[in-house]
């Protein structure tokens, strides 16, 4: 079993695919899946996106940096939404970020993060990388290395990495494993090149899986074969 897990969730996990906002069924499902792994006493870090609220590229007329700041604030909103729901579901959760100064959000200190994990808290890293021009995939790669995770789980709506888009091509073939090198050179869209590059540099394995298939997350954490693993 992996003991230190960083889970990257897209904002759309909170709203349902192609929708905006929050969907309580989606939150309930997420809490159930997290509970299954938190019962095993793992250290669980989470990075959440903001696609359900706002992505920087959505309004082409906007100044890029400001649009991205709005996107990053969206990740804080999502993190607080999840925290509140998790706490009410019996999952102890703390939100940390460097981009806001709110009583419900703590700042990021490595020593404190270890204390949160040791006390059984799920730690949600909000605010992306704190910089515009990046995405929460890159934030997930950075945080996974910072928290010395054993695995970065990229939870999506597809069940792994394919040689071509499985929605458009019926003959698309799924990889069981793929190297960082291949993922970058084939321009695999499931994660940013920046995120793959950070994981490659620090040997952080990634599992890409379908979060909406029940127990997939649990199976991944148990090291059962699920999704696609990105390896050196």
Which residues sit in the known binding site for UMP? 68, 129-136
> Looking at 47-55, 173-181, 207-215, 224-232, which segment touches ligand UDP (CB under 6 A)?
47-55
Q: Which is nearer to ligand UDP, 40 or 197 (CB)?
A: 197
Output the CA torsion sign for 109, 127, 75, 10: negative
CB atoms closer than 10 angstroms to residue 109: 11
DSSP assigned state of 123: E
Q: Which residues contact 10 (CB under 8 A, 6 or more apart)?
A: 48, 49, 51, 136, 155, 156
Residue 209 touches ligand UDP, criterion: CB under 6 A: no
Q: Are strands 93-96 and 4-9 parallel, antiparallel or unpaired?
A: unpaired
Residue 154 touches ligand UDP, criterion: CB under 6 A: no
Ordered alpha helix ranges (H), 89-192: 110-118, 136-146, 180-185
Q: Which is nearer to ligand UDP, 137 or 150 (CB)?
A: 137
Best CA proximity match to 153, nearest among 227, 208, 211: 208
Report the greatest alpha carbon distance in the chain: 51
Residue 208 touches ligand UDP, criterion: CB under 6 A: no
Phi-psi region of 21 (alpha: psi -120 to 50; beta: other; left: phi over 0): left
Residue 72 touches ligand UDP, criterion: CB under 6 A: yes
d(Cα 199, Cα 144) in Å, to the nearest integer? 9
Residue 97 touches ligand UDP, criterion: CB under 6 A: no
Q: How far is the CB of 120 from ligand UDP (least distance, A)?
A: 26
Q: Which is nearer to ligand UDP, 10 or 43 (CB)?
A: 10
Query: What's the token pair of residue 46?
Result: 């989470």
Binding-site residue set: 8-11, 51, 55, 68, 129-136, 156, 162, 165
Residue 227 touches ligand UDP, criterion: CB under 6 A: no
Residue 56 touches ligand UDP, criterion: CB under 6 A: yes
Residue 162 touches ligand UDP, criterion: CB under 6 A: no
**Contact pattern from residue 6 through residue 45 relative to ligand UDP, giving x for each residue in contact according to CB under 6 A and a dash for the rest:** ----xxx---------------------------------
- Which parts of this chain interact with ligand UDP (CB under 6 A)? 10-12, 49-51, 55-56, 67-68, 71-72, 74-75, 128-129, 131-132, 134-139
């Amino acid at each position: 079993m992996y003991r230190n897990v960083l889970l990257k969730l897209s904002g759309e996990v909170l709203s349902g695919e192609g929708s905006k906002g929050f969907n309580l069924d989606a939150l309930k499902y997420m809490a159930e899946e997290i509970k299954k792994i938190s019962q095993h006493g793992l250290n669980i870090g989470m990075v959440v996106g903001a696609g359900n609220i706002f992505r920087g590229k959505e309004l082409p007329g906007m100044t890029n940096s400001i649009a991205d700041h709005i996107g990053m604030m969206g990740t804080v909103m999502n993190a607080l939404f999840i925290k509140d729901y998790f706490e009410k579901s019996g999952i102890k959760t703390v939100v940390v970020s460097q981009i806001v100064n709110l009583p419900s959000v703590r700042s990021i200190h490595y020593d404190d993060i270890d204390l949160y994990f040791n006390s059984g808290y799920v730690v949600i890293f909000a605010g992306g990388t704190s910089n515009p021009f990046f995405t929460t995939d890159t934030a997930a790669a950075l945080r996974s290395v910072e928290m010395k995770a054993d695995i970065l789980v990229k939870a999506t709506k597809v069940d792994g990495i394919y040689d071509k888009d499985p929605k458009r091509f019926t003959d698309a073939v799924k990889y069981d494993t793929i190297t960082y090198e291949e993922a970058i050179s084939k321009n695999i869209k499931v994660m940013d090149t920046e995120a793959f590059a950070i994981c490659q540099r620090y040997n952080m394995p990634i599992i890409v899986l379908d979060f909406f298939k029940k127990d997939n997350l649990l199976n991944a954490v148990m090291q059962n074969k699920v999704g696609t693993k990105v390896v050196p």
